Amino acid sequence: MTTVSRTFDVRPEPAVVVDYLKDFSHAEEWDPGTESCTRIDPGPVQVGSTWHNVSKIAGVSTELTYTLQQLTDDMIVLVGSNDTARSVDTITVVPNPEGTGSRVTYEAVIELKGAAKVADPIMKIVFEKIGSDTEDDMTTVLNRLAA
């Protein structure tokens, strides 16, 4: 199991950040590994909403179905899974204690299944790099919402 976590500050207020990030189809804009992320079900985004995510990680394409498991004023929990992996992405958004804007904590817990488990030590290095790139991209995208 690999856990990657980043905490960073952005200019928009928490409600704006949560409203944007709860729609996981936006991952195409801020997740460097995501090639496409398409909403599967209709209607407003709410607990139970699902997305088909296609990502390329370390040159390998993978497809996961993500479900919005939890949504509150300050937390989003998305769970993605397929036959070889399960990812629990928890995004916490609180007012920035140093002033205006938000403090975002993004934690991804990735569990490889079956034969893929042997790659865990290597994937930790890969996912740490992706975590840094995601922080950079998410910060840029979220700050545009404040403009």
Sheet bearing 2-10, strands edge to edge: 2-10, 102-112, 85-95, 75-81, 60-71, 50-57, 34-39
What count of Cα atoms within 13 Å lies in the side-chain half-sphere of residue 37?
23
> What pLDDT, in 10s, does the model give residues 49-101?
999 999 987 677 889 999 999 999 999 999 999 998 899 999 999 999 988 89
Give the whole-number percent of the chain exceeding pLDDT 90: 61
Mean pLDDT of the region 114-141: 63
Residue range 2-145 forms a domain whose CATH class is alpha beta
Count Cα neighbours of 12 within 13 Å in the Cβ-side half-sphere.
20
- The confidence score (pLDDT) of residue 118 equals 47
Domain locations in the chain as residue ranges = 2-145
- The reported pTM is 0.87
Q: What is the mean pLDDT of the chain?
A: 87
Those residues whose C-beta lies under 8 Å from the C-beta of residue 59, and which sit 6 or more positions away, are none
In terms of pLDDT, which residue wins out, 43 or 112?
43
C-alpha closest to that of 85 among 60, 103, 102: 60
